[in-house]
């Protein structure tokens, strides 16, 4: 009887603390850098901020946040106007996020 409620209680604090995980923080910093890069098209900069917002939702499970951010970033990586360094940065962020799942 105590098991399921104790397990659920244990998960909630972990979920609240996950936005502070170093790996997630690193990805968020990389997304902010990409959003601040003037050599990247405006739609990609907006998409980087959108992915950052997806990762920063504390009430959502980490795997869902990661999947949402990767979905946005994958779409951005296929932009034909994206410079090579921007595409490489996006792939690097995707790779680091997928390693968390």
Q: How long, in residues, is the chain? A: 101
Q: The domain spanning residue 13 has which CATH number?
A: 1.20.1440.50
* pTM of structure: 0.77
Q: What's the domain count of the chain?
A: 1
Does residue 99 have a pLDDT over 60?
A: yes
- Domain residues for 12? 2-98
**Eight-class DSSP state of 20:** G
Nearest of 54, 26, 43 to residue 86 by alpha carbon: 43
CA dihedral 98, 11, 56, 34 (to 10 degrees): -20
pLDDT 10s digits, 39-88: 999 999 999 999 999 999 989 999 999 999 999 999 999 999 999 999 99
């Amino acid at each position: 009887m105590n098991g399921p409620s104790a397990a659920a209680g244990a998960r909630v604090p972990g979920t609240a603390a996950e936005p502070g995980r170093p790996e997630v923080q690193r990805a968020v910093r990389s997304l902010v850098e990409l959003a601040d890069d003037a050599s990247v098209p405006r739609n990609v900069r907006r998409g980087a901020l959108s992915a950052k917002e997806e990762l920063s939702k504390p009430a959502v499970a980490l795997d869902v946040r990661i999947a949402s951010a990767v979905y946005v970033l994958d779409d951005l990586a296929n932009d034909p106007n994206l410079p090579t360094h921007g595409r490489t940065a996006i792939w690097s962020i995707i790779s680091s996020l997928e390693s968390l799942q």
